[in-house]
Amino acid sequence: MNRIKLHVRKGDNVEVISGNFRGSSGKVLEVIARKQRVLIEGVRIIKKHLKKSQDNPQGKIQEREGPIHISNVRVLERGEKAGKDKGTKKKAAKEKSPKRKTAKEKEE
């Protein structure tokens, strides 16, 4: 199964550039890669009607974020977790290891 590469990650600050919610911005709460959609904090608030249960004896109208297509958003700022370089440990280990002498250096 192949991984889907997307330009947006969880924790990024994004702006909606097209569609009904153009101009609004917020933090990415979740990326749904298979459907190519994102949930953005405070954007596209939808109301979900919940029926009666033990948790909600009266029933409830819950407000939550709805998904927006990923092509309609632009990254403004990378999140702390998303911006880190994946290869930093390997690079640091290479710098600490002693350098080997080349054949010319050994002769001298």
How far apart, in Å, are the Cα atoms of 91 and each of 82, 83, 84, 97, 99?
18, 16, 13, 10, 14
- Report CA-CA distances (Å) from 53 to 60, 62, 81: 10, 14, 37
Give the C-alpha separation, 26 to 102, whole Å. Answer: 54
> Do 24 and 72 touch, CB atoms closer than 8 A?
no
- Per-residue pLDDT tens over the stretch 18-77: 999 999 999 999 999 999 999 999 999 999 999 999 999 999 999 999 999 999 999 999
- Tokens at residue 12, please? 């990024």
- Determine the pLDDT at residue 2: 81
- Please indicate, yes or no, if residue 74 is contained in any of the structural domains: yes
pTM of the model: 0.67
CATH number of residue 65's parent domain: 2.30.30.30
Residue 64 lies in a domain: yes
What is the extent of the structural domain holding 3? Answer: 1-84
Residue 91 forms part of a structural domain: no
Q: Tell me, what's the pLDDT at 3?
A: 82
For residue 13, the cross-strand partners are: 27, 77
